[in-house]
Amino acid sequence: MKKLFVVSGTVIGLTLSLQIQLNAQDKARSGPPTRDIKVISSAGARALADACSAWAEQNKQVVAIAILDWGGNLVESHAMEGAAMNAIDTALLKAKSALRWRRATSEVNKMVRSGQNLAPTFMRDFPQQGALPIVVNDQVIGAMGVSGADGEKCAQAAIDSVFKKTATSSR
């Protein structure tokens, strides 16, 4: 018969305390420990979808729309009657791409086609024309993807309408 021996011991921890002093220059370089982030509201996202839909109707187009917040969370989606079955998925993929690259997906498409940057092709992005980042006070607060004929024009018209030209995009 085998015997089981239990050995117990004491582990002594050693704590070393160091004082680090930062001079004013180091503090200035490190910046504040927090920052304020603007967040697109549900009402703002709904207004963007409504404005884009109105623009599309006026221009006799059918679109689907996806609006993301700064962290990539879907805040609003909408498909007009007659939109293709995959239109919402396409709008969402475009919005994610615009948010990741912080520029219009038409610009990302040009980067890929020219060979300047092929990363979007293997990062699960969808670098096809139709999405814009939403920028307020030089801060990307979200992105708007539109699946349909003139997606970026529709998105820009909606951003201009809702944010009264205080928001910008990379277009």
- Tell me what the mean pLDDT of segment 134-141 comes to: 92
Confidence grade of residue 171 (pLDDT, cut at 50, 70, 90): very low
Confidence grade of residue 16 (pLDDT, cut at 50, 70, 90): very low
Q: What is the pLDDT of residue 129?
A: 86
For residue 87, pLDDT beyond 60: yes
Question: DSSP readout, the chain?
Answer: ----------PPP----------HHHHHHH--S--------HHHHHHHHHHHHHHHHHTT---EEEEEETTS-EEEEEE-TT--TTHHHHHHHHHHHHHHHTS-HHHHHHHHHHTS--HHHHTT----S-EEEEEETTEEEEEEEEESTTHHHHHHHHHHHHHTT-EE---
Integer Cα distance of 47 and 162 in angstroms: 7
Q: What is the pLDDT of residue 31?
A: 77
Integer Cα distance of 95 and 140 in angstroms: 12
pTM of the model: 0.74
- Tokens 């221009």 — which residue? 59
Percent of the chain with pLDDT over 70: 73
Nearest to 101 by CA among 143, 137, 67: 143
Contacts of 14 (CB under 8 A, 6+ apart): none
Integer Cα distance of 87 and 148 in angstroms: 8
Q: What is the pLDDT of residue 30?
A: 74
Q: What is the pLDDT of residue 32?
A: 83
Q: What is the pLDDT of residue 2?
A: 56
Integer Cα distance of 171 and 156 in angstroms: 8
Bigger pLDDT: 160 vs 16: 160
pLDDT digits (tens, 9 = 90+) for 105-130: 888 778 767 776 666 566 677 777 89
- Tokens 């205080």 — which residue? 166
pLDDT digits (tens, 9 = 90+) for 146-168: 998 899 999 999 999 999 866 55
pLDDT digits (tens, 9 = 90+) for 30-83: 778 888 888 899 999 999 999 999 999 999 999 999 999 999 999 999 999 999
